[in-house]
Amino acid sequence: MEATDTAKNGSTTAPNNGSSGGKQPQDKVKKARKTVGIPTIGALTSMISVVYTGRVSKEPTPWERIENYEFFSPSSDGSRLMMRISCSKSIDLLTRKTIPTSYGQGYIVHMDAHPSKPDF
Protein backbone atom coordinates (compact mmCIF):
# COMPACT_ATOMS: atom_id res chain seq x y z
CA MET A 1 0.00 0.00 0.00
CA GLU A 2 2.79 2.35 0.75
CA ALA A 3 4.10 2.05 -2.81
CA THR A 4 0.71 3.00 -4.24
CA ASP A 5 0.51 6.06 -1.97
CA THR A 6 3.90 7.20 -3.26
CA ALA A 7 2.83 6.65 -6.83
CA LYS A 8 -0.36 8.69 -6.34
CA ASN A 9 1.29 11.66 -4.64
CA GLY A 10 4.53 11.59 -6.64
CA SER A 11 6.57 12.55 -3.60
CA THR A 12 8.36 10.65 -0.87
CA THR A 13 9.04 13.65 1.35
CA ALA A 14 6.98 14.43 4.40
CA PRO A 15 4.86 17.58 4.26
CA ASN A 16 5.97 20.61 6.24
CA ASN A 17 4.12 20.44 9.53
CA GLY A 18 4.82 24.09 10.38
CA SER A 19 6.99 23.45 13.43
CA SER A 20 8.81 26.77 12.94
CA GLY A 21 5.56 28.72 13.03
CA GLY A 22 5.90 29.79 9.40
CA LYS A 23 8.89 32.06 10.08
CA GLN A 24 12.06 31.65 8.10
CA PRO A 25 15.46 31.89 9.88
CA GLN A 26 16.15 35.26 8.24
CA ASP A 27 12.90 36.67 9.70
CA LYS A 28 14.05 36.26 13.32
CA VAL A 29 14.50 39.46 15.30
CA LYS A 30 18.15 40.20 16.07
CA LYS A 31 19.19 41.30 19.51
CA ALA A 32 20.48 44.84 19.74
CA ARG A 33 24.18 45.07 20.61
CA LYS A 34 25.32 47.34 23.37
CA THR A 35 27.81 49.71 21.79
CA VAL A 36 29.57 52.88 22.81
CA GLY A 37 30.08 55.68 20.32
CA ILE A 38 33.18 57.74 19.73
CA PRO A 39 32.84 61.18 21.34
CA THR A 40 32.57 64.00 18.84
CA ILE A 41 34.78 67.07 18.83
CA GLY A 42 33.18 70.38 17.95
CA ALA A 43 36.12 72.05 16.26
CA LEU A 44 39.79 71.51 15.54
CA THR A 45 40.64 74.41 17.85
CA SER A 46 39.22 72.50 20.81
CA MET A 47 41.77 69.70 20.24
CA ILE A 48 45.15 69.48 21.94
CA SER A 49 48.28 69.11 19.83
CA VAL A 50 50.51 66.15 20.73
CA VAL A 51 53.72 64.74 19.32
CA TYR A 52 54.46 61.02 19.21
CA THR A 53 58.01 59.80 18.92
CA GLY A 54 58.89 56.62 17.14
CA ARG A 55 61.86 54.51 16.19
CA VAL A 56 62.34 52.88 12.81
CA SER A 57 64.12 49.54 12.56
CA LYS A 58 67.40 49.56 10.62
CA GLU A 59 66.70 46.33 8.72
CA PRO A 60 63.59 45.59 6.64
CA THR A 61 61.19 42.94 7.91
CA PRO A 62 59.34 40.52 5.58
CA TRP A 63 55.58 41.02 5.33
CA GLU A 64 54.92 37.63 6.93
CA ARG A 65 56.72 38.67 10.14
CA ILE A 66 54.91 42.01 10.58
CA GLU A 67 52.08 41.49 13.09
CA ASN A 68 48.51 42.68 12.57
CA TYR A 69 47.99 46.25 13.83
CA GLU A 70 51.74 46.88 13.87
CA PHE A 71 53.10 50.11 12.38
CA PHE A 72 55.60 49.90 9.53
CA SER A 73 57.00 52.05 6.77
CA PRO A 74 57.94 51.01 3.24
CA SER A 75 60.85 53.47 3.40
CA SER A 76 63.87 53.25 5.70
CA ASP A 77 63.38 56.80 7.01
CA GLY A 78 59.84 56.04 8.26
CA SER A 79 58.34 58.86 6.21
CA ARG A 80 55.21 56.95 5.13
CA LEU A 81 53.52 55.42 8.18
CA MET A 82 51.33 52.40 7.54
CA MET A 83 49.67 49.68 9.61
CA ARG A 84 49.11 46.03 8.77
CA ILE A 85 45.45 45.20 9.42
CA SER A 86 45.18 41.64 8.05
CA CYS A 87 47.18 39.02 6.19
CA SER A 88 46.37 40.73 2.89
CA LYS A 89 45.73 44.41 3.70
CA SER A 90 47.47 47.43 5.11
CA ILE A 91 46.27 50.97 5.71
CA ASP A 92 48.09 54.16 4.78
CA LEU A 93 47.69 56.44 7.81
CA LEU A 94 48.11 59.61 5.74
CA THR A 95 45.33 58.88 3.22
CA ARG A 96 43.39 56.48 5.51
CA LYS A 97 42.84 54.10 2.60
CA THR A 98 43.34 50.35 2.66
CA ILE A 99 45.86 48.87 0.28
CA PRO A 100 45.96 45.23 -0.82
CA THR A 101 49.29 43.92 0.46
CA SER A 102 50.33 40.29 0.47
CA TYR A 103 54.12 40.29 0.17
CA GLY A 104 57.18 42.50 0.38
CA GLN A 105 59.07 44.03 3.25
CA GLY A 106 58.83 47.08 5.45
CA TYR A 107 60.61 48.81 8.28
CA ILE A 108 58.84 48.31 11.59
CA VAL A 109 58.06 51.54 13.43
CA HIS A 110 57.89 51.41 17.24
CA MET A 111 55.75 54.25 18.55
CA ASP A 112 56.09 55.73 22.03
CA ALA A 113 52.84 55.18 23.90
CA HIS A 114 53.10 58.47 25.80
CA PRO A 115 52.68 61.60 23.68
CA SER A 116 54.18 64.92 24.63
CA LYS A 117 52.78 68.39 24.08
CA PRO A 118 54.74 70.57 21.67
CA ASP A 119 56.20 73.85 22.89
CA PHE A 120 54.65 76.00 20.15
Q: What digits encode the pLDDT tens for the residues 91-115?
A: 999 999 999 999 999 999 998 887 7
CB 81 within 8 A of CB 71: yes
Average pLDDT value for residue range 21-40: 72
CB 106 within 8 A of CB 62: no
The whole-model pTM stands at 0.60
Domain ranges of the chain: 49-111
Q: What digits encode the pLDDT tens for the residues 62-75?
A: 999 999 999 999 99
- Could you tell me where the beta strands, DSSP code E, fall in 1-120? 54-56, 61-62, 71-73, 82-86, 89-92, 97-100, 105-111
Average pLDDT value for residue range 74-100: 93
- pLDDT value at position 27? 72
